[in-house]
Amino acid sequence: MEKAIPIGKEPKNEPDISSIVPINRVTFADKIRSYLKKPFSFMIMLLVMLAALITVGSVAWVILHTFISGIPNLKPELFEWEYTPENLSMMPAIINTLFIAAVSLAIAVPIGVFAAIFMVEYAKSTNFLVKIVRMAAETLAGIPSIVYGIFGMLCFVYFFGWGESVLSGSLTMALMILPLVMRTTEEALKAVPDTFREGSYALGAGKLRTIFVIILPSAMSGIISGVILGLGRVVGETAALIFTAGSYSFVAGGFMEGGRTLAVHVYILASNGLYEDQAWAAAVVLILLVVVINGLAEFVGNKLKKEY
Amino acid sequence: MTETTITQNGEAVIRRNKKTDLKELLMKIVFIIAAVCFIAAVLIICLFIFMQAVPAIAEIGFFKFLFGTEWKPSDTNPKFGIATMIVGSCYVTAGALVLGVPVGFLTAVFMARYCPKPLYRVMKPVTNILAGIPSIVYGYFGLTVIVPLVRRTFGGSGSSILTASIILAIMILPTIISVSENAIRAVPKSYYEGAVALGATKERAIFCTEVPAAKSGIVTSIILGLGRVIGETMAVVMIAGNQPQFPSSITDGVRTMTANIVLELGYATDLHRGALIATAAVLFVFILLITMLIALVRRKAK
């Protein structure tokens, strides 16, 4: 597309083009005619539209069904501070979720960010160590959550003897979100232009100062959005937490005590079969939490992003 | 006087440099340690899983474990054969891919080439929401909606390969859509324009020039989806029926490897627990193979 010339400022010597009709314009009728000539293309087009409809339809189906079954059951007693077999309150589970999420982020974020700094700022991409670390990160990202769960049980619960506790669960979850934090941080660091680094060095700053004062603040939006995505993963996780953080229905009082997270709470209620209403209500809260968290990540990633 | 100042200044500068040098070196070591943590994590996970899995497999017998068709974790004369579960995992995975890949791929084409901008601003968050829904919610949705639906339509108990495949197909849609869409968008515009200029219809231009050019990205998206399906636990355990048997039709229930672990790990002891950890080891090997496959596809694409 050419830049539009503002009205009244056209150069006088150019011919008047307003009366010329472009011959390459495709109208709707043209499209129909072309599709009639090529029925196979038309069929493919229909299939593409159908696929998009199925996708949107399945999202709408899952979300709407959950909301319709859950929202009428969101009763105040489900948010009482104490869990009893009568009220089946999800409040302790929500608190445990936040507790475990905070601890696992506190462990995973420094390691993930520092590793990303090493990968982007210090090592060349052909470096042997970098290749191995990248392979390790890809492997970690691919391991199913149930394998993390078994590992957490064998290592933290039994080998270190911490039992089913917040600490065991958080360490397992930290391992799980490490690759996510590293990858998003790496991308954020790579997006910082090299002129920033060069300018900083030229002013006499050392490498460390450049990283912490210039690069990290510039990459902060990407890093934060990665961290929030990690938070979303922890909140939605079930399989890795059942065997590491346990399924106690009370608020975990410390690092060495166990407690169920909201996702585990939904699983226990759902597999019980008797508490369908409460399970749907908890599922609604869970979906809302995860969707809000992921939306926040996207918002932070887009809105706080600086254009260089 | 002047001389001294210069020397003092010089000294001061040199001293500060030494201090920062030390700090730089220290932090560099910290960064390297953080990176090495990743390697250590993978090694420790391998170590813990395989250290318990290998003795269990040795006790059961390698072939009896992998190809044994009976899973009877009883006290007297227990049998630990996971062949039915490997087959179950494969069936469910295949079913999910058969349903999910065409829909996901075509939706990716729609998002990349058909979708008008205002609609795209709705569609993109919608697929992101799909990716964010926890698997337990999918499982519960499957249990209360898809299972009765399948029961009414096809008979049987409803908890079946078909049910699990439908739910897992929905679950892998966002992975396939976002990775494939990026791959199609990365194809230079000139491919499309060239094809259209030669008289191809829009569909022909997309499917005969752009899609082959984006092949490696699309294949990667499918393999990523495969990895997600094979490792999926909480959704499958609620809807696949969990019978350790060879299914004779898609409306029969199966037990996957992941479901086997979740169902029995809570109360298993001794060899039974060893066998479950060995199941996780087999799963782990599957995932390693898939990761290697992705690396292979990426390298070939370069």
Q: How would residue B299 be classed by pLDDT, with cut points 50, 70 and 90?
A: confident
Cα distance between residue A72 and residue B79, in whole Å: 47
> B168-200: per-residue pLDDT in tens?
999 999 999 999 999 999 999 999 999 988 988
Q: Quick one: average pLDDT of B240-264?
A: 86
Q: Can you give the pLDDT at residue B16?
A: 54
Residue A15 DSSP code: P
Cα distance between residue B233 and residue B55, in whole Å: 25
Q: Can you give the pLDDT at residue A300?
A: 81
Q: Can you give the pLDDT at residue B281?
A: 92
- For residue B145, the chain A residues in CB contact (below 8 A) are 61, 65
Cα distance between residue A294 and residue A288, in whole Å: 10
Question: What residues contact B189, with CB distance under 8 A and at least 6 apart?
Answer: none
| CA quadruple B115, B121, B124, B129: dihedral sign | negative
What topology is assigned to A76-303 in CATH?
A: MetI-like fold (1.10.3720)
3-state secondary structure of B254: strand
Of B111, B132, B203, the CB nearest to A41: B203
| Calculated CA dihedral for residues A62, A63, A65, A70, nearest 10 degrees | 130
User: Which pair of structure tokens corresponds to residue A98?
Assistant: 């936040």
| Interface contact flag, B233 A59, Cβ < 8 Å | no
Segments making up each domain of chain A, as ranges: 28-73, 76-303
Q: Quick one: average pLDDT of B19-34?
A: 86
pLDDT at B132 over 70: yes
If you write DSSP's letter for every residue of B9-57 in order, what string do you get?
HHHHHHHHHHHHHHHHHHHHHHHHHHHHHHHHHHHHHHHHHHHHHHHHH
Cα distance between residue A293 and residue B5, in whole Å: 58
The b/e string for B226-247 (b: 16+ C-beta within 10 A; e otherwise) is bbbbbbbbbbbbbbbbbbbbeb
Cα distance between residue A8 and residue A12, in whole Å: 10
Of B24, B134, B202, the CB nearest to A207: B24
Contacts 24+ apart (CB under 8 A), B278-281: B278/B52, B278/B53, B278/B54, B278/B56, B278/B57, B278/B60, B278/B65, B278/B82, B279/B82, B279/B85, B280/A146, B280/A147, B280/A150, B280/B49, B280/B53, B281/B49, B281/B50, B281/B53, B281/B54, B281/B57
Cα distance between residue A48 and residue A95, in whole Å: 44
Q: Quick one: average pLDDT of B86-90?
A: 91
Per the listing, tokens 């990775």 go with B179
The better pLDDT of the pair B286, A36 is held by B286
Give this prediction's pTM.
0.84
> B104-119: per-residue pLDDT in tens?
999 999 999 888 888 8
Q: Can you give the pLDDT at residue A252?
A: 77
Q: Can you give the pLDDT at residue A293?
A: 87
State the smallest CA–CA distance between residue B246 and chain A in angstroms. 23
Residue B164 near residue B92, CB atoms below 8 Å: yes
Q: Can you give the pLDDT at residue A48?
A: 92
Whether this model's ipTM surpasses 0.90 comes out as: no
- Of B197, B225, B195, which is closest to residue B108 (Cα–Cα)? B225
Cα distance between residue A214 and residue A74, in whole Å: 47
> A30-79: per-residue pLDDT in tens?
778 878 888 888 888 899 999 999 999 998 899 899 898 888 888 877 77
Residue B187 DSSP code: S
**Polymer length of chain A:** 308
Q: Can you give the pLDDT at residue B17?
A: 60
| Interface contact flag, B48 A41, Cβ < 8 Å | no
Residue A164 near residue A243, CB atoms below 8 Å: yes
User: Which pair of structure tokens corresponds to residue A65?
Assistant: 């069904």
Q: Quick one: average pLDDT of B252-277?
A: 87
How many interface pairs between A and B have CB atoms less than 8 angstroms apart? Answer: 257
Q: How would residue B1 be classed by pLDDT, with cut points 50, 70 and 90?
A: very low
Q: Can you give the pLDDT at residue B2?
A: 33
Cα distance between residue A137 and residue A183, in whole Å: 8
Mean pLDDT in chain B? Answer: 86
Q: Can you give the pLDDT at residue A306?
A: 61
3-state secondary structure of B269: coil
| CA quadruple A196, A198, A203, A205: dihedral sign | positive
| Interface contact flag, A238 B234, Cβ < 8 Å | yes
Torsion region of A80: left, alpha or beta (phi above 0 gives left; psi -120 to 50 gives alpha): beta
Window 5-64 of B: residues touching A by CB (8 A cutoff) are 20, 23-24, 27-28, 30-39, 41-42, 44-45, 48-49, 52
Residue B241 DSSP code: B
- Of B192, B171, B172, which is closest to residue B112 (Cα–Cα)? B192
Residue A43, number of CB atoms within 10 A of its CB: 12
Q: Quick one: average pLDDT of B248-260?
A: 87
Cα distance between residue B68 and residue B87, in whole Å: 12
Q: Can you give the pLDDT at residue B7?
A: 53
Give Cα A171 to chain centroid, integer Å: 19
If you write DSSP's letter for every residue of A58-103 in order, what string do you get?
HHHHHHHHHHHHHGGG--GGGG-SS--TTT--SHHHHHHHHHHHHH
Q: Can you give the pLDDT at residue B200?
A: 85
pLDDT at B67 over 50: yes
| Interface contact flag, A208 B23, Cβ < 8 Å | yes
Residue B243 amino acid letter = Q
Cα distance between residue B48 and residue B62, in whole Å: 19
Per-residue pLDDT of chain A (308 residues; tens, 9 = 90+): 455 555 655 556 666 777 777 777 777 787 788 788 888 888 888 999 999 999 999 988 998 998 988 888 888 777 777 777 777 788 888 899 999 999 999 999 999 999 999 999 888 777 788 889 988 998 898 899 999 999 999 999 989 988 889 999 999 999 999 999 999 999 889 888 899 999 999 998 888 889 999 999 888 888 888 888 888 889 888 888 988 888 887 777 777 888 888 989 888 888 877 788 888 888 999 998 888 888 888 888 777 666 66
Q: Can you give the pLDDT at residue B38?
A: 93
Q: Can you give the pLDDT at residue B4?
A: 41
pLDDT at B42 over 90: yes
Window 170-229 of B: residues touching A by CB (8 A cutoff) are 170, 173, 177, 201-204, 207, 227
CA nearest to A49 within chain B: B110
- For residue A42, the chain B residues in CB contact (below 8 A) are 203
Give Cα A81 to chain centroid, integer Å: 29
Cα distance between residue B74 and residue B286, in whole Å: 28
> How distant, in Å, are the alpha carbons of A244, B110, B137, B191 from that of B180?
35, 11, 25, 17
- For residue B290, the chain A residues in CB contact (below 8 A) are 142
